[in-house]
Amino acid sequence: MDSVVLIYKGIYILAIFGISLLIATYSTYFERKIAAFIQDRVGPNRAGPMGLLQPLADAGKLFFKEEFIPANANKTLFILGPGIAMLVAAMTSAVIPFGDTLILGETSFDLIAIDVNIGILYIFAVVSLGVYGLMIGGWASNNKFSLLGAIRAASQNISYELAMGLSLIAVLMLSGSLSLKVIAEQQAGFNWNIWYQPLGFLIFLICAFAETNRTPFDLPESEAELIGGYHTEYSSMKLGMYLFAEYINIFVVSAVMATLYFGAYNFPFMENLRNAFDDPVLGNNVVTILGVGVMFAKIFAFIFFFMWVRWTLPRFRYDQLMKLGWNILIPLAILNILLTGGGILLYDYFTQG
């Protein structure tokens, strides 16, 4: 790798990190705004114009709160918990293709931090690590409510990861690759996976809600039963990091869904637009930049959907949650794999036979 590419990658990774932090910060603001709008209120509007400085005020407040560690807590692990949650959340966005290729002069820049050929496996591996953050934090608090919340989080995440992985296999059967970049490229134009995988998408979406601990599956922190769940004993910025990690996870999961099912940075008629320019380099760059915008529009739409659902649905009961995961989603996901396999065979039979 020559130094230009190395420097570019460094800058790009920093930028992606900054963007995910920024989006997570402002997710808290939009969460409150959307909650308010759905409940016929106006939401935070005092800090800055339209309340836009509210996230800064919230973060400032969290920083000034007392840093409290319970007397009998395991101190190292207690501090490690939110750290892991945050680190893991921030790591996942590395393999997501936010755009196609920019061509500047002689060099072309891929708008993806690291194009590993096992991108989607990497995301799954790292996201599953996130459960350690919750588990360690909940256990180290030495509080039965925290522990119960952590156990709930762990069992819920593990159960839903299965269905999520199975629903994903159908996509991988279509694409024949684990690399997110390849999956994105195959959905050029309007050839999105959602048209082939509506059932798979539905399963993935439901699992995504469960994986990010969002309503209707926010049982690990259900206030009525568990006070605050695994973060009951946390205060100050350690609590802030847990909450922050949740929003980064939402961002990443939205990005993954947009990439896997909604064509990532692809949009209809992009080939026509590319050919409309005489200069192929210029055409490519215009389409790429537009594609980045499209990608973020899709991500924001998903984030909005997450919040919209949160303020619409009540929480599931724990046995309902487990039943949905094991008895309904997993068989459905397997059925989906069979259907996809059958579809592929039929397609091959008719096109080649």
Q: Least distance to another protein from the beta carbon of 34, Å?
A: 7
Question: How far is the C-alpha of 323 from the C-alpha of 210, rounded, in Å?
Answer: 13
Q: Least distance to another protein from the beta carbon of 328, Å?
A: 9
For 232-241, give one letter per residue: b (16+ CB within 10 A) or e.
bbbeebbbbb
Of the ranges 11-19, 34-42, 102-110, 280-288, which one interacts with another protein (CB under 8 A)? 34-42
CA angle (262 as vertex; 126, 104 as ends), nearest 5: 80
Question: Counting Cβ atoms within 10 Å, is residue 349 exposed (0-12), middle (13-18) or buried (19+)?
Answer: exposed
> Which sign does the torsion angle of CA 122, 125, 129, 130 carry?
positive
Q: Residue 301: phi, psi to the nearest 5? A: -60, -40
The answer to the question of residue 311 lying near another protein (CB under 8 A) is yes
Question: How far is the C-alpha of 281 from the C-alpha of 299, rounded, in Å?
Answer: 27
Structure tokens of 325? 């995961």
The H helix count followed by the E strand count for the chain is: 13, 2
Question: How far is the C-alpha of 308 from the C-alpha of 314, rounded, in Å?
Answer: 12
Residue closer to another protein by CB (options 277, 305) is 305
Judge whether 211 and 164 are in contact, CB under 8 Å: yes
Binder of another protein out of 16, 24, 34, 147 (CB under 8 A):
34
Q: Residue 108: phi, psi to the nearest 5? A: -115, 140
Q: Least distance to another protein from the beta carbon of 339, Å?
A: 18
Site residues (CB under 8 A) for another protein, limited to 141-160? none
Site residues (CB under 8 A) for another protein, limited to 40-59? 40-42, 45
Binder of another protein out of 308, 331, 345, 347 (CB under 8 A):
308
Neighbours of 83 (CB within 10 A): 15
Residue closer to another protein by CB (options 179, 254) is 254
Q: Least distance to another protein from the beta carbon of 80, Å?
A: 38
Please give the size of the binding site for another protein, defined by CB under 8 A. Answer: 14
The tokens 């030495």 sit on which residue? 142
Q: Least distance to another protein from the beta carbon of 42, Å?
A: 4
Q: Binding mask 177-216 vs another protein (x if CB under 8 A, - otherwise)?
A: -------------------------x--------------
Residue closer to another protein by CB (options 138, 216) is 216
Bridge partners of 103, per DSSP, are 108
Residue closer to another protein by CB (options 21, 194) is 194
Q: Least distance to another protein from the beta carbon of 38, Å?
A: 5
Residue closer to another protein by CB (options 44, 165) is 44
Judge whether 70 and 86 are in contact, CB under 8 Å: no
Of the ranges 37-45, 70-78, 93-101, 220-228, which one interacts with another protein (CB under 8 A)? 37-45
Q: Least distance to another protein from the beta carbon of 41, Å?
A: 5
The tokens 């605050």 sit on which residue? 228
Judge whether 167 and 207 are in contact, CB under 8 Å: yes
Of the ranges 57-65, 188-196, 286-294, 303-311, which one interacts with another protein (CB under 8 A)? 303-311
The tokens 């998408």 sit on which residue? 201
Give 227-252 as a 3 state SS string.
CCHHHCCCCHHHHHHHHHHHHHHHHH
Of the ranges 11-19, 33-41, 114-122, 285-293, which one interacts with another protein (CB under 8 A)? 33-41
Binder of another protein out of 56, 158, 313, 338 (CB under 8 A):
313
Q: Least distance to another protein from the beta carbon of 112, Å?
A: 33
Of the ranges 52-60, 258-266, 308-316, 335-343, which one interacts with another protein (CB under 8 A)? 308-316
Site of interaction with another protein (CB under 8 A) = 34, 37-42, 45, 202, 308-309, 311-313
